[in-house]
Structure 1
Amino acid sequence: MGIFSSLISAPLLPVKGTVWVAEQVRDEAERQYYDPATIRRALEEVGDAREAGTIGQEEADRMEKALVRRLLASTRRSTSKE
């Protein structure tokens, strides 16, 4: 039965490989998105842009709130994985 099931499942191997690659890409994107160091750098960049006057106070506040939400989500994700 092993050869028969291999023959039947062989056409699905490219699909399985594509799904595996997509999962790897998703995992890496999430790792980078929720990386605390990346988020802190982005917060610093927002602060620098505000000081330089390239963005307004409201825009900086909006960006900082979004980054803080990401940082909090990152903390929750890391504690739930432990």
Structure 2
Amino acid sequence: MGLLWELVSLPLAPVRGTVWVAEQVRDEAEREYYDAGKIRRQLERVEEARTNGEIDPAEAEAVEEALVARLVEANRRARQGGGR
């Protein structure tokens, strides 16, 4: 049945390829979004902006909370071996 299935599903090959590419893009975006080093650097930039008066303290706190939440999730994912 393998050959028959391949022939029947051949018209879906472009769709499968598109889905694969979309999954690769998603995986890379998640790797970057949850990169602990990048998150820490962003936290440092927020603190620097707050110190220099470039950002309102309330806004800085909101951004920091979001970044810390991402960092916690990044650490959770790292403990689980990078799985979603």
TM over 0.5: yes
The residue number in structure 2 matching 1:51 is: 51
Which structure dedicates a bigger proportion of its chain to helix? 1
Question: What stretches of structure 1 of length at least 5 have no aligned partner?
Answer: none
Give the TM-score taking structure 2 as reference length. Answer: 0.89
Question: What stretches of structure 2 of length at least 5 have no aligned partner?
Answer: none
Q: RMSD in angstroms over aligned alpha carbons?
A: 1.4
Q: CA deviation at 1:33?
A: 0.4
Range 18-27 or range 46-55, more displaced: 46-55
The residue number in structure 1 matching 2:32 is: 32
The residue number in structure 1 matching 2:6 is: 6
User: What's the % identity of the aligned pairs?
Assistant: 56
Q: Distance in 2 between matches of 1:65 and 1:2?
A: 52
Q: CA deviation at 1:2?
A: 4.4
Q: Distance in 1 between matches of 2:2 and 2:74?
A: 44
Q: Distance in 2 between matches of 1:67 and 1:59?
A: 12
CA shift in 2, pair 1:39/1:5, >3 Å: same
The letter of the residue matching 1:58 is A
- For residue 80 of structure 2, give the secondary structure of its aligned residue in structure 1: helix
Could you list the structure 1 runs, at least 4 aligned residues long, displaced by more than 4 angstroms after superposition. Answer: none
Q: Distance in 1 between matches of 2:54 and 2:46?
A: 9
